[in-house]
Structure 1
Amino acid sequence: MKLSVWLLAMFCYWHAATGQHLSPFVLTAPPARTPTGKVPDAALAGNGDIGLTFGGTPDRLQLYFGKNDFWRAYPVYPGGGIALPGGLNVSVDALKGATYKVVQNPATADIQATFTKPGLQVGVKAWVAAMHNTVVLEFTATQTCVLQLHLWAPEGNTAIVRKGTSGNVSWVTRSFENTPLLEWPSHVALAMHAPGSNITLQPDRPVTVTVTLYTNHDTPRWKETAIQEAAGLTAARIETMRQAHRKWWNGFWERSFVEIGDTMLEKYYYASQYLFAASSRPGKFAPGIWGPFITRDSSAWGGDYHLNYNYQAPYWAAFSSNYIDLTDNYDQPLLDYMEKGKWHARTLLHMRGIYYPVGIGPKGLCTTRWPLTPEEMLRRYGTTENTIDSGYKFLGQKINAVFGAANMLMRFYSTYDEQYARRIYPYLLACADFWEDYLQFEQGRYVIAMDHYGEVMPNLRNKGQWRHMLGDYNSTLSLGLVKMLFKGMLQVSDYLQTDRARRQQWEHIYTHLSAFPVQEVEGRVRLKSVEKSPAEWHNRAMGLARVSIHGLVLPGEVCGPVTDPAFNAILLSDVAHWKDRMQQPGEWGNTLGNGIETCFPGAVRVGYDPNEILRYLKDRIRASSLPNGWITQAGGGTETLAAVPLTINEMLLQSYEGRVRVFPNWDRRRNAAFGNLRAYGAFIVSSRLTGGTVTAVNILSEKGRPLEIENPWKDGAVKVERNGKPAGTVSGKVLSLKTQAGEKLVLTKGRGHKRKEWILMRE
């Protein structure tokens, strides 16, 4: 099949697949946990900066507007962290007792509500403009009724709230400024364009209401800009915004697809992609734990950037899903904190490099200081000692900055973008500086002391007694992530042709880090979380779990069936025993608390049975998910949006071990297809499995890097096309092909005699 014909076939196939599985979520009852300090259960829409949470009842709608860049830049939570800009209340007395139907549409990124009672039906269509700072609300009614609108911003928490009108625009502002310990001011304006605050809604006469939001982080003229843009929103202007909105979302859904023949999992796959795209956008502040779906101040953990996995995990599926631009905002908070990180390393540990606390925010903000008074410390943590680590929450962990580097390396391997590599290299180098100083070389190996597998801190349960728990030695989290770092340093420095003189030391560290600890228990070798620890449970070989996966498999990526088959067999055995600890459906991998985005794709990577993984994943979704499609867990929010997409992507395509593998952990008896998933090496890959056979593999080489790919037809002959022209045949279990930048390859099952590989490599 010619390349152009094959691509057309895949494109048409995509439309069939996504058209069927971009399923809406229908909410038939008012949300019960909105507002909340965690994930709201209401219908959601967003543009990666502004989030709309559609709360309330038919007669008393409560719409909440969140914004990723509106923070109270105070270093302690509660009180500090991302804050609520405000909302809009819509009262329709005539709808008291009406039925509730609200539809969240991922395909069109809008919310459509229908409220019905005898003689009256009111419709609301709501969307957050993909390319503008405006929320659009369109109201219709079958009979005359009155809408009452109240635009508001919350008082309290040191906020300064003002309101007023300017022509046909009503506005409110909320500001945090000029208070002790506030690191920088935040201001937000909400400007509503409406026919009035009391609107008579008549049959066949739709009414449009818009709310435009700007902060001082968008523009110095935040208030004036919001009011002026709102005032200029004519019907023609709104229609232009609508067309831009449709174009953006249509383009988003065309970037990649999967088809696995499971309607439920495909529905949650695309719902998760929708919610992530609604939460993250290039050029905007990065989303915190709850994204822009904020419904009150002082959300859990301040809604901050928690660096011991919560901040990193939401992005993990975006790399392989080919949504690289949605990861653009990730690096800036880490880069902005570097000067403080250097101060922490120098002052607290007398080290070079950077040392980060557990939680940060934008613009160099630390969100995780201990309470500022001994009395508050005693009330919350059971001790008056609020000067631990000079008042910052490191919680016994040295690894947070390196944990932050994981996503940088994932993006680099996915794109081989030189400009990006130069942007993040100073951060990686600062991490290397720290660990060169911190590591101890003992008896021919590097060891890691006093970097803890879990958070170690005073709390009310231990009555403020915590120091006896310090002393982890060779945590698997630390060993894995440090190994990941120096592997990355070798590759990025070589790519950039810099720091050649330091590579020998980095290679020595990489090859001489302590082995990952294991122990034989009851005849089975199991992973230990740490080599030794004062905490007794650490000294038992409990097997592979979420935190170890972070270091070893995801995002650490230093273990796997290609890298070390023998060690991978130990990890696979551990995963096989997760079911032994289950008490009820949904508990596999112990992911109800945390870790669905880690344990499920981690199990895929080590090679656990794919049908079992999919069955357990569906059980987990049923056990804890919301009517809006958000899969929930106790310890966080946005990170779960990576769970289903990453699990499925990893089943269909893997490349993290330097080798592209199509359908590496998939039941070959089940038909499946994927289009335009991204592989390490800057390759865009599409393929289809039908009747137990891979029909073809389509590969775009963006940067012309060498391609190593596992033969999709075992060790049989493989025909190669390059840019639509035959280019010979190769065979073997692993194929090594040279590529050129922009080159398109098609691999199909070959026939006849083996051809020498040099035929393919002449160009």
Structure 2
Amino acid sequence: MKNQSFNIRLKKTLLFLLIIASFQSFAQVKNAIEYKTFFAKQDLVFDSLSTKWEEGAFLGNGLLGVMVYKEDENAIRFDLGRTDVVDHREGINPSIGRARMPIGKFVLRFKSKIQKVNLRLDLWNAELKGTITTAEGVVQFTGLVAAKNDVIILKTNATTKNLIYQWDWKPEKSISPYLTLGKDSAAKYPENPSYNVSTQNNINYTIQPLLAGGSYTTAWKKLGNTNDQTLLITIANTYPQNTSKQKAQAILTPLKLESVTTLTASHRNYWHQFYQKSFISIPDSRLQSFWWIQQYKMASATRVGAYTIDLMGPWYKTSPWPKYWWNLNIQLTYYPFFSSNHVDLAKPLLIMLKDNLSNLSKNAPQPYQHNSAAIGRSGPYAMTGGVKVVKGNDSIGNSAASLELGNLTWLLHVAYQSYEYTMDKENLKLLYPILKRSINYYINVMDKQSDGKYHLPYTYSPEYPKGITRDANYDLAVLKWGAKTLLYMNKELQLKDQLASKWQDIVDNLTPYPQDKLGFRVGRDADFSLSHRHYSHLLQVYPIYDINWDQLENRVLIKRSLDQWEKNSGAWRGYSYTGSGSIYAMMGNGNKTHQLLNEMMKGRFSIKPNTMYTEAGPVIETPLSAVTTMNEMLLQSWNGVVRVFPAVPDEWKAASFDKLLAKGAFEVSAVRSNGKTQFVKIKSLAGQPLLVKTDWTAPVKATGKRVFKVTPKDNGVITIDLKKGEEVILYTGTKPASFVMNAIAANDNKNNYWGLHTQK
């Protein structure tokens, strides 16, 4: 009897476990991605090298950077950079006094002409490796910038005995590139002191003291023998103390040959974890590789505890723009971090804003400094840069650069996404006082006029040739967004701010966005009739979505405005294509978005072979902004709705993505094949209400560890009762036997598009 009772209990237990196991199996997506094989197809391949920076291979760890390209027919150069190596002089043009500074280069020189180069930037391991061939033989090369240590590792191994080559270090003069290019007379400014060279305990030092205090030091040592050498390099920077040599010494002294193995293992582990935070695979091999190279670029250009990315990142190049630009560049640089699920890499941006609130306040005119904040067109990391907009007509006569009132609020729109994509209220607390001051500036200068509407004085809409105007759409868009966001913050943080009624009044009574028969104007006094590379007059459409495609009554206006911008494309640059592409993606027109991205890749101002982008100098935001546009083809989240595959071009019959991030803190994964979405997996990181829109017309079903309630709403939107930490898989029709995430075969079957390839 006891045995029978035991057997019954055992059967019930096994049945229960079987039921639980079956629920779990259906609630999971099998990851069948072979990352190493997949990444090998995305690598940049260099079977030749030119003497151009924009055609070189780049390495970085978020602070230090190396650009590798040809010095001459006998040598390869390794340009060094460090993001925070800047001058520190106050009271002069920041392009001179607070500019990025050159460091120098290592040159790998051979006795005879280089006959052949075969290098591969191995993305999966974030290493440059391959061979260099001369008449005397072959040198094997490996290079990396350690992810968790500020050490550059360059290894050479000669496969032929007595092959003659040498490493030469060539430091550069500490002078702003703005002066090097002759933008101003160097003779007007006292020079920085000369660098000092020394050797101590087998470590070589080049110490560059600065006139304003502080210093930066490049230190290096060789390990190994003549045929098998390892070069270890670091760059240390200190201010106001002149202690950079001591910092460099502390980094290099303990390192030995066996340290390289440990550093490399840690480095690879970091990158493998980084890449697996999100994933995309699309049938366009050029764009797919481009996306992955930009992910590599993002983590190579910044990291937690480092610095906000400027126009060149850690890859120094002589440029007329050796500082930060606040009227588009930094904004476009940071948008892709959020949807790509690398929100942590935006922390340096938040810290920069928090640490410089005092300077932001001083940027406003003196009568407004007590409660306002602003940032002008460009300036140093310290965010100094005055704005001169005042009430009434007294702004006229000031430079256009000093009338860009909307820059700080737009930058805060970017930073606010660190909250929207995580729902972390600590980010709200950090941003609230800055946004409040930014909107206070508007309150100080605007008027409610006889029409009962608030109007703005003369400001400047960035980069439009005749953009000084009242009621600039640039400002109206960010002002309205800022007022709405402050109301939300006030409620979420339970602050009961006395200005809440004023913010609501602005939302209710701000003058409408100026428009005419051509679409949105630049402002009340400026129509849109000249070519405009910037989309400052369209921020209310994108990326703010105050005017959007869900509003049927605004569709004609949006399309008319977009047509007018496209017809006047003479001044367009790379980011004009990504911006217009993103608007088409909002409209659901993936074919046009795809077309615009392809035009940008190979157009007049094209993406370079190494995926960098230059005009008069490097401008990192353009290729990164293309990542935002690509993400929006696969996943969008605006107007409270998560939109899956909203703008996939017709030729992409298949596509997949894993753990892209949506606003509301949702990790979203999805697979498309045969022109239709097969399944969607969503994980809630914060327990926010979930509304989803897909291409399905049949009823949507859900599976997971419990029974989920799926409620249809209007326009194909459904709502799901997903709680924090839960995952749900959505599908339609018959439930598949399994849900598998895999890479998609390319339509063109071409790999390794990027890099520099020998012309055939």
* 1:153 CA displacement: 2.9
* 1:652 CA displacement: 1.0
The one-letter amino acid of 1:528's match is R
After superposition, residues 76-87 of structure 1 pair within 5 angstroms as: 76-84=93-101, 86-87=103-104
Do structure 1's residue 620 and structure 2's residue 592 form an aligned pair?
no
Contact 1:23 1:105 in 2 (8 A): yes
Distance 1:58 1:2 in 2: 64
Q: 1:606 aligns with which of 576, 587, 596?
A: 587
Distance 1:151 1:744 in 2: 54
Residue in structure 1 matched with residue 679 of structure 2 by the alignment: 696
Residue in structure 2 matched with residue 480 of structure 1 by the alignment: 477
Q: 2:79 aligns with which of 25, 45, 64?
A: 64
Do structure 1's residue 243 and structure 2's residue 231 form an aligned pair?
no
Distance 1:502 1:367 in 2: 25
**1:40-77, CA deviations, whole angstroms, 9 ceiling, x for partnerless residues?**
43211101110101132463332221111111123415
* 1:693 CA displacement: 2.6
Residue in structure 1 matched with residue 222 of structure 2 by the alignment: 194
Residue in structure 2 matched with residue 755 of structure 1 by the alignment: none
Distance 2:44 2:37 in 1: 15
* 1:484 CA displacement: 1.5
Do structure 1's residue 494 and structure 2's residue 514 form an aligned pair?
no
The one-letter amino acid of 1:611's match is N
Contact 1:553 1:605 in 2 (8 A): no
The one-letter amino acid of 2:535's match is V
Distance 1:368 1:31 in 2: 41
Residue in structure 1 matched with residue 199 of structure 2 by the alignment: 165
* 1:578 CA displacement: 5.6
Say if 1:450 and 1:717 are closer, same or farther in 2 by CA, change over 3 A. same
- Higher mean alpha-carbon deviation, 49-58 vs 447-456, is at 447-456
Do structure 1's residue 531 and structure 2's residue 513 form an aligned pair?
no
Do structure 1's residue 52 and structure 2's residue 60 form an aligned pair?
no
* 1:399 CA displacement: 1.4
**1:573-624, CA deviations, whole angstroms, 9 ceiling, x for partnerless residues?**
4435666456xxxx7xx533653442322332233x3123212311321231
SS at match of 1:201: coil
After superposition, residues 580-659 of structure 1 pair within 5 angstroms as: 580-581=567-568, 591-592=572-573, 594-607=575-588, 609-623=589-603, 624-633=606-615, 637-659=619-641
Residue in structure 2 matched with residue 100 of structure 1 by the alignment: 117
SS at match of 1:114: strand
The one-letter amino acid of 1:54's match is V
TM normalised by structure 1 equals: 0.83
SS at match of 1:229: helix
Residue in structure 1 matched with residue 752 of structure 2 by the alignment: none
Do structure 1's residue 145 and structure 2's residue 132 form an aligned pair?
no
Say if 1:242 and 1:635 are closer, same or farther in 2 by CA, change over 3 A. closer
TM normalised by structure 2 equals: 0.83
Q: 1:747 aligns with which of 719, 730, 735?
A: 730
Say if 1:255 and 1:492 are closer, same or farther in 2 by CA, change over 3 A. same
**1:658-703, CA deviations, whole angstroms, 9 ceiling, x for partnerless residues?**
1111111224662111110100011111111222332221111111
Q: 1:559 aligns with which of 516, 538, 547?
A: 547
Distance 2:580 2:722 in 1: 34
Do structure 1's residue 312 and structure 2's residue 295 form an aligned pair?
no
The one-letter amino acid of 1:223's match is K
Residue in structure 1 matched with residue 742 of structure 2 by the alignment: none
Percent identity reads: 20
* 1:8 CA displacement: 6.5
Distance 1:470 1:540 in 2: 9
Distance 1:351 1:405 in 2: 20
**Unaligned ranges ≥5, structure 1:** 35-39, 179-184, 370-387, 458-468, 533-537, 753-763
- Higher mean alpha-carbon deviation, 674-683 vs 148-157, is at 148-157
After superposition, residues 119-138 of structure 1 pair within 5 angstroms as: 119-138=136-155
**1:288-319, CA deviations, whole angstroms, 9 ceiling, x for partnerless residues?**
111010144xx3222x1211011121111110
Residue in structure 1 matched with residue 312 of structure 2 by the alignment: 290
Residue in structure 2 matched with residue 436 of structure 1 by the alignment: 443
Distance 1:389 1:221 in 2: 47
SS at match of 1:136: strand
Residue in structure 1 matched with residue 758 of structure 2 by the alignment: none
Distance 1:569 1:390 in 2: 37
Distance 2:509 2:50 in 1: 58
* 1:117 CA displacement: 2.7
Do structure 1's residue 416 and structure 2's residue 423 form an aligned pair?
yes
SS at match of 2:646: coil
Contact 2:423 2:664 in 1 (8 A): yes
Do structure 1's residue 666 and structure 2's residue 648 form an aligned pair?
yes
Distance 1:122 1:612 in 2: 47
The one-letter amino acid of 2:628's match is L
Distance 2:533 2:23 in 1: 44
Do structure 1's residue 252 and structure 2's residue 274 form an aligned pair?
yes
**1:329-368, CA deviations, whole angstroms, 9 ceiling, x for partnerless residues?**
1123333332233233241667731122211322455599
Distance 2:620 2:22 in 1: 41
Distance 1:726 1:323 in 2: 31
Contact 1:30 1:100 in 2 (8 A): no
**1:397-445, CA deviations, whole angstroms, 9 ceiling, x for partnerless residues?**
2112212211122221111111121112111111122222222212121
Contact 2:463 2:533 in 1 (8 A): no
**1:247-282, CA deviations, whole angstroms, 9 ceiling, x for partnerless residues?**
111111111111221111101111122112211111
After superposition, residues 488-527 of structure 1 pair within 5 angstroms as: 488-521=485-518, 526-527=519-520
Q: 1:452 aligns with which of 460, 464, 474?
A: 460
Say if 1:573 and 1:663 are closer, same or farther in 2 by CA, change over 3 A. farther
Say if 1:213 and 1:2 are closer, same or farther in 2 by CA, change over 3 A. farther
The one-letter amino acid of 1:243's match is A
**1:70-118, CA deviations, whole angstroms, 9 ceiling, x for partnerless residues?**
1112341542344345234334342324333443332221222522133
Say if 1:579 and 1:425 are closer, same or farther in 2 by CA, change over 3 A. closer
Residue in structure 1 matched with residue 180 of structure 2 by the alignment: none
Aligned residue-pair number: 683
Distance 1:102 1:355 in 2: 46
Distance 1:470 1:15 in 2: 48
* 1:142 CA displacement: 2.3
Residue in structure 2 matched with residue 329 of structure 1 by the alignment: 348
Do structure 1's residue 154 and structure 2's residue 176 form an aligned pair?
no
Say if 1:598 and 1:643 are closer, same or farther in 2 by CA, change over 3 A. same
Say if 1:92 and 1:398 are closer, same or farther in 2 by CA, change over 3 A. closer
Distance 1:53 1:504 in 2: 53
Say if 1:593 and 1:15 are closer, same or farther in 2 by CA, change over 3 A. closer
Distance 2:407 2:335 in 1: 17
Distance 2:596 2:164 in 1: 49
SS at match of 2:586: helix
- Higher mean alpha-carbon deviation, 269-278 vs 568-577, is at 568-577
SS at match of 1:474: coil
Say if 1:432 and 1:83 are closer, same or farther in 2 by CA, change over 3 A. closer
SS at match of 1:736: strand
